[in-house]
Structure 1
Amino acid sequence: MAPERNTGAGAEAELPEYAGHYQLESCLGSGGMGVVHLARSTSGMKLAVKVVHAEFAKDPEFRGRFRQEVGAARRVSGAFTASVVDADPEAERPWMATLFIPGPTLSDHVKRNGPMAPAQLRRLMAGLAEALRDIHRVGVVHRDLKPSNVLLAEDGPKVIDFGISRPKDSELRTETGKLIGTPPFMAPEQFRRPREVGPAADVFALGSVLVHAATGRGPFDSDSPYVVAYQVVHDEPDLTGVPENLAPLVLRCLAKEPEDRPTPDELMRELRSVAASYDTQAFIPAQRTADVTGPEPGEPEPRPRRRPRRKAVLPAVALVLVAVGALASVPLLDGGASAPRTTTRTTTAPSAAVGFGTWQTTPLATGMPQCSYSGKLICGQSGLVFALDPADGALLWRHSVATAPRSGPPVVSGGLVQPLTDQSRRLEALDPASGGTRWKRTMPAYDGLQPAGSMLLLTGADGQVTGVDSASGRTRWERRIPGQSIPYFASFAGDPLAYATSTTGDGLSTQVAAIAPTSGDVQWATRLRGTLKPFGVSGGAVYFLAIDKATGGTTAIVRYDVRSGAARRVALPVSRFGARATVRGNVVYLLAAGGSLEAMDMDARRRLWILETSVSRGSAPVAAPACVYFTAADGRLLAVDARKGTLLGQTPPRLGRDSGQVTATLPAPVLAHNHVYATAPDGTVFAVNARNPSAW
């Protein structure tokens, strides 16, 4: 990319001609830290390319935040955002390219056309609730939802700009000069305790955005951002001009305490009662454009009168500003640390066949444990590893670890319990009988950790892979994987190999290598077309999801036969976002965001069945001969007939008190002893009879 002569943040004397391979045609807009250009790819595709101002490109901390923004934007499916096509945070001038979405921002629309009509407001609120659900379910908090970050596309609103702060958009700064958001659209906790900000802050911002769309101003207005900050924390919102049937719901979004705000799913359910013709289970363009006007039966009561605002005095404002912490944009949510509480158990009579009963136990106050099975249930959550008796749920031992598990549940490898903590330098192995520490080791920083057989495979930021013996903690080997810059590893139960994948920057091909975990030797390697993610092995073949780099959706399933070297690609009838999959025999079961569960016959190259489960977000499915099981974000465990695709049973939701929190990764259920073991957001671990889902 051509350098610029002007290194300032204002108007630029010489614009760059290219960002990577993308030709920049015109300026779409400029903010405090970068310029967004209309650009075209070599094939002519329209893109929006954000190029960072030269002065910020010299700041290592800013580059780190930009990398975080790119990573967060890539995690989100693209259904309700601008999909990332390409990016280079390490370039002389960092840049990110996303699909160009025609349509004005909400801010521009309101400026040009005035406040929205009630029907438009309902559709906007529903679309933003959908977008937040999509964002939160991958463990991302936007933190800067505002009218200028909402694009009004033909198929509904799109949320953009994940994590770049814009100091010149506001005068409110911390002592280090770092902006923490846009004051009129920030939640109270962003001023009072910024380190505790979660998904509920985005819901507060949604409420403020709706007020702006309905009235042309925010619920807390002042020429001074400091006064706005005081009003957000202490005063009641001004909802004058918000339609009466939406005002109560907007008021709930603007609750001062995060736990009092609705979740995005609850918002969509509430909106369904506001407009009878609005369907929260299917969002298609025809429904977005269908106008609904006039009052409906059963509308909520008119909102209560606003309490008079208190005058913002300087000492109070100073207190608010002192409470403001450093910027921490777009964090992943792994569940807040929760103090362990006394385990409570409910059990039923054991099964006559195996001596195991159904039970539930709550070893944690909140948070969704991740569990694996190795003679006993080994679970981890919030800096804690514990073991449960699979027969009755009795707590066998508990052990605190340095950091919360992130890359998956604790596993038994090398005969010892291995708590998995990505991006931590400390490894620790526990005795599976007592939970006592057997060895500890401090490693160089690593970006990835994958158990494989009796080994732990650590991938460094430079692509170097280290093989650590699980039983002793000793390094067995260190090397790079030929043909792979930074490999990502996957391993599967019962398979002696680990699979390293590395996708080319253009997303056109993926290098795959099968590694012997004990030696690091490459057993075989191949290059396959497209961006591929391995999810299972069956019958001497490795299975992959094929992902469209532009949209992030899964478009096909690829089966690579190791013996013949042949690859079979079966296209999905419809691209699926947020897809998780498993394979049993020659059938792949795939669960997508929004609850679509489908079975694909890889031999016949056709779909066997599809079931719309209405689950907003689910775990990876687990397949047995007769049933497919998966966990929902609200704590339900569902069972589906593997042959017919009909729902056989489900457990009640178990959301708990922190229902506004979102777990970064939903743990899959565990099958053992003809029982299914699952966990829920309220901290519950439970067991049900796998053979009788209708009784759940």
Structure 2
Amino acid sequence: MPPLRSSGPVPEAEHPEYAGRYRLGEWLGSGGMGVVRLAASDSGLRLAVKVVHREHAADPEFRARFRQEVSAARRVSGAFTAPVVDADPQAARPWMATLYIDGPTLSERVKRNGPLDAEELRRLGAGLAEALRDIHRAGVVHRDLKPSNVLLAADGPKVIDFGISRPTDSDVRTETGKLIGTPPFMAPEQFQRPRDVGPAADVFAMGAVLVHAATGRGPFDSNSPYVVAYQVVHNEPDLAGVPRELAPLLVRCLAKDPAERPTPEEVMGALRVPGGGAPVTGGDGAGAGSGGAPGSRSGSGPEVGRGGSVAGGGGSPAGRDARVPAQRGPVDDAAVAEEAGRAARAEADRRGAASSGREGARGDTVPWGRRRLVWGAAAVALAAAVAGAVLAVPGFGERGGTRDGGPAVVAAGFRPWAVPLGTAGGGARPPVCAAARDALYCAAPGVKAARLAVADGARAWSVPAAGAAAPGQGAAVVSVGGLVLVVGTGAEAGARLEALDPATGAGRWQAALGTYAQVVPGGDTVLAVHPDGQVRALDAGTGAERWTGRPAARGAQWVGGPDGPLFAAEVAADGATTLVTAVDPADGRVLWRERVRGSLTPVQATGRGLVLLSADADLYTDAVVRLTVAASTDAGSGARTGAGTGSDGRAARRVVTRVALGGPVDQAQAVAEGDTVYVVGSGGSLTAVDLAAGRERWRLGTEAARVSRPVVADGRVLLMAGDGRLLAVDAARGVLVGQTAPRMAGGGRTFVPLLPAPVVVDGKVFAGAPDGVVFAVDPAGW
């Protein structure tokens, strides 16, 4: 059975030549979030490589979710899952390589050949139960087990796609008021108590998958997803056509109460096949030739078997055992839908009232073309795209100072204010802002950029956004040259960089970025970094090209600052070391290189060096690392001193300081202030790491499920929470000293994928909230 093929033209940017060190070959499949390509390891193993679409690679929230998927898939790699061979969720185009599984999905197998017989069903169930046992032992709940996520390989079924899975010990919870999954295979608690979903939900899904395998349909069927949701919660499953000897076990798996369901070990015991037996395969002689790419089996439309017609659910191969007769009568879809709609509206009202005062956790992105429904209790929530994003430059808009004319000024007698910015319903992405002199420059849905007075929020000018924008490019800032730099996306030219006059908003220059993935500002230079390592450096004031070249290898992550060199960090193929390259922003000259132990991600350029975060094998941050250029007399306690060669051929001394964290941090963000680095992770854990003393100073749970990158000003660590609260933590003591009230968007949407960091000007704090408002507060009284 041939692999999935493209049904039409795909932009050139969606066909990268490499993912890390793997040369990509045959196109296996595509979905809303990325493409799947065939590749090979150095030893000749065939791999299925997922590569994220360019627009999603620019979204920090999707990157965080993809990182969690990679982490979960690595934790559960075993006999009944597709092993992860390599991955780089930090790359310009994040990717993950898994072992290529040669076999169809269960959905395709049933559609092509009809339902499984009793013995096939027993072997499938035993394999799925063993897979769930291993997944749960690794501390992961899959949450989206369904026929299209089960591959039928020659040696048994494989469970794939951990895109919405989460660790059982994670602080991450489903977004308030939303349910995530595929309704016919979701457990009742996923509709009723999404924050409390545990391993038993996977057992329920396994029961529904086995009913589908036995009958060609699910135990709860309707053309309306809302009716399906009602049936899952209130109705008994329809087991007509299920082999009699397996029906009691499936009834237990489909119990409404999670406590009444069997464990995977109990299911394995009940389905054990005496003397073994051949595994369930694709039905074509072990599925030879099928495109068994993990995560690429279905498009965004209805699932249709490849290479054959859709089989009816009532197909009955010869020799099939007796089946259970229908256990319920016909359903009046209209009446049930009306009742389900009333219940859903009531639940939406209840959740909306409750969510106004508490933090919403992360929602889901629909990965790899599978049709998941992200429920907003009564309706599907649609994400509104940001109409413009203004480029982030580290060190600007954070401490109240600028490089283009002195410190920003806030008038005496400052009073808090709040002004809406952007199109109606634009709370899908909060405004992002930065300060320069006496103005804020902000971008929002429908607004490319706007200038607001810091004193009262009065709008001096606003430039509407034309067409789609590149989401999630970062926080807003004003360039060193005194221009407002905006990253957007054109219909044909791809991403572009545009400079606006700060006084009038008029365009001064623009540059097409094409397929360049990373845009990295540093000093008065802006870099456009292509995935193949090619770098194009532009003058921030004029847009003129300064230099081009490849100072670092493919896949390097770049960071720059207002002063000093640009830095590129390239993790070795084995993840054991990272090569850091310092580059002169004026001419692209390599100043020095240093290889540092660990898999490191650059965070912030400092006056003399670079701060990085170290990741373990599961991509959790486990240490903070600082690399500084040291004088010969420097000798930091606990630091490693090394030497490298600069471009002038003379030896240069670098000091590497590493401080281990007291516990792993997931999806870490950080900011450095002097010798202290403040690290925040998913779940809102905030840690202060003293690099001079070589230890953690304090650790605080903010009780916010999602927070922005931290900002340090006037002795406080400031963060934005996902519900629009501004949090202030005493930087010395690690104590929460104040917070604002939540500012959520109206209606059913309570989740935003991008949380911009707040901006500080002379002690006053400015931030964009999910309700589409830019607000200003004076935290002096906290």
Structure 2 length as normaliser, TM-score?
A: 0.55
1:205 aligns with 2:185: no
Per-residue Cα deviation, 1:113-137 (whole angstroms, up to 9, x for no partner):
999xxxxxxxxxxxxxxxxxxxxxx
Contact 1:335/1:368, CA 8 A, preserved across alignment: no
Q: CA deviation at 1:109?
A: 12
C-alpha offsets along residues 263-293 of structure 1, whole Å, 9 cap, x if unaligned? 9x979x99xxxxxxxxx9xxxxxxxxxxxxx
User: Structure 1 residues 464, 639: CA separation in 2 closer, same or farther (over 3 Å shift)?
Assistant: same
Q: What's the CA shift for 1:396?
A: 2.1
Q: Tell me the equivalent position of 2:579.
A: 511
1:633 lines up with 2:722 in the alignment? yes
- TM-aligned CA deviation for residue 262 of structure 1: 6.1
Q: 1:133: which partner in 2?
A: none
- Return the letter of the residue paired with 1:369: P
Change (3 A) 1:164 1:509: farther
2:645 counterpart residue number = none
Alignment check: 8 A CA contact 2:180 2:373 kept: no
1:562 is aligned to 2:555: no
Q: Deviation of residue 645 (structure 1)?
A: 1.0
Q: In structure 2, how many angstroms separate the alpha carbons of the residues matched to 1:158 and 1:41?
A: 32
Judging changes above 3 Å, is the alpha-carbon distance between structure 1 residues 236 and 662 closer, same or farther for their aligned structure 2 residues?
A: closer
1:387 is aligned to 451
Contact 2:622 2:660 in 1 (8 A): yes
Kept in 2, the 8 Å contact 1:535–1:545? The answer is yes
Report which stretch shifted further, 610-619 or 509-518: 509-518
Q: Deviations over 1:444-497 (max 9, x none)?
A: 321111122222200112211001122222222111115x223322123x4233
The amino acid of 2:564's aligned partner reads P
Counting only pairs closer than 5 Å after superposition, residues 213-612 of structure 1 correspond to structure 2 as 213=203, 216-217=207-208, 223=216, 228=221, 230-232=223-225, 237-238=230-231, 239=233, 240=235, 243=256, 255=344, 327=369, 336-337=384-385, 354-364=412-422, 365=424, 366=427, 367-375=429-437, 376-384=439-447, 385-401=449-465, 402=467, 403-413=469-479, 414-421=481-488, 424-482=494-552, 484-492=553-561, 494-538=562-606, 540-548=608-616, 550-563=617-630, 564-612=653-701
Which position in structure 2 is the counterpart of 1:46?
A: none
| Aligned 1:25-44 pairs, distance under 5 A | none
CA distance, structure 1, for counterparts of residue 623 and residue 687 of structure 2? 13
Q: 1:632 to 1:151 in 2, by over 3 A?
A: farther
Q: Which residue of 2 aligns with 1:153?
A: 136
Q: Which has the larger radius of gyration?
A: 2
Deviation for aligned residue 1:670? 0.9
What amino acid maps onto 2:767 in structure 1? A
2:755 to 646, 655, 666: 666
Matched-pair contact (CA < 8 Å) for 2:143–2:181: no
SS at match of 2:531: coil
Code of the residue aligned with 1:398 in structure 2: it is S
Whole-angstrom distance in 2 between the partners of 1:488 and 1:652: 37
Local SS of the residue matching 2:460:
strand
Unaligned runs of 5+ in 2: 5-19, 23-34, 76-83, 90-95, 101-120, 153-160, 165-174, 189-200, 237-254, 260-339, 362-367, 375-380, 389-408, 631-652
SS at match of 2:704: coil
Contact 2:707–2:721 (8 Å) recurs in 1: yes
Report the Cα distance in structure 2 between the residues aligned to 1:205 and 1:461, rounded to whole angstroms. 34
Who is 2:112 aligned against?
none
**Worse-superposed segment, 645-654 or 233-242:** 233-242
Residues 127-165 of structure 1, C-alpha deviations (whole Å, 9 max, x = no match): xxxxxxxxxxxxxxxxxxxx9999741364333899997
Once the two structures are TM-superposed, the CA of residue 534 in structure 1 deviates from its matched residue by: 1.9
Structure 2 residue aligned with 1:75, among 67, 78, 97?
Answer: 67
Letter aligned with residue 500 of structure 2: L
Equivalent residue for 2:733, pick from 638, 644, 651: 644
Aligned equivalents of 2:729, 2:624: Cα separation in 1:
21
Q: Secondary structure at the match of 2:688?
A: strand
On the 8 A contact 2:724/2:769 being kept in 1, the answer is yes
CA RMSD of aligned residues (A): 5.3
Q: Secondary structure of 1:425's partner?
A: strand
Classify the secondary structure of the residue corresponding to 1:391.
coil
Give yes or no for contact 1:88–1:96 (8 Å, CA) kept in 2. no
- Give 1:65-144 correspondences, 5 Å limit: 74-76=66-68, 82=74, 86-87=86-87, 95-96=97-98
Residues 108, 505 of structure 1: alpha-carbon distance in 2 compared, 3 angstrom cutoff: farther
In 1, the alpha carbon distance for the partners of 2:528 and 2:445 equals 22
Tell me: CA distance 1:226–1:592, structure 2 relative to 1, closer, same or farther (3 Å). Answer: closer
Aligned CA distance change for structure 1 residues 235 and 621 (closer, same or farther; 3 Å): closer
Quick check: 2:625–2:659 contact (8 Å CA) kept in 1?
A: yes
For this pair of structures, how many residues does the alignment match?
Answer: 510
2:604, 2:610 within 8 Å by CA — same for their partners in 1? yes
Contact kept? 2:421, 2:431, Cα under 8 Å: no
Distance 2:725 2:146 in 1: 32
1:677/1:454 CA distance change after superposition, 3 Å: same
The answer to which structure, 1 or 2, has the higher relative contact order (CA under 8 A, 6+ apart) is 2
1:388 Cα shift? Answer: 1.3
Shift in Å at residue 424 of structure 1?
Answer: 3.4
Deviations 1:175-220 (A, max 9, x none): xxxxxx9xxx9xxxxxxxxxxxx998862537842147459448x9
Deviations 1:577-602 (A, max 9, x none): 11111111211111121121121111
Amino acid at match of 1:382: P
1:679 CA drift (Å) = 1.7
Identity %: 30
Q: Secondary structure at the match of 1:153?
A: helix
Distance in 2 (alpha carbons) for counterparts of 1:66 and 1:432: 29
Please give the alpha-carbon distance, in whole angstroms, between the structure 2 residues aligned to 1:154 and 1:254. Answer: 36
1:203-244 residue CA offsets vs partner (Å, 9 max, x unmatched): 2537842147459448x9884589946132666621235648
Give the aligned residue type for 2:503.
A
Q: Equivalents in 2 of 1:379, 1:416: separation in Å? A: 13
Residues 683-694 of structure 1 mapped to structure 2, 5 A cutoff: 683-692=772-781, 694=782
Q: Distance in 2 between matches of 1:602 and 1:654?
A: 36
Residues 649 and 447 (structure 1 numbering): CA distance in 2 closer, same or farther, change over 3 Å? same
Counterpart of 2:435, as a letter, is: Y
Going from structure 1 to structure 2, the CA distance change for 1:352 and 1:677 (only over 3 Å counts) comes to closer
* 1:671 to partner: Cα distance: 0.9
Deviation at 1:646, TM superposition (A): 0.9
Distance across 1 between alignment mates of 2:591 and 2:611: 17
Q: AA paired with 2:140?
A: P
2:32 is aligned to: none
TM score, norm. by length of structure 1: 0.61
* Separation of aligned partners in 2, 1:535 and 1:486: 16
Q: Which moved more, 1:451-460 or 1:550-559?
A: 451-460
Runs (5+) with no aligned partner, structure 1: 1-5, 10-19, 23-32, 43-48, 99-106, 116-146, 170-180, 186-197, 271-279, 281-325, 341-350
Q: Which amino acid aligns with 1:499?
A: F
Alpha-carbon shift at residue 406 of structure 1 (Å): 2.5
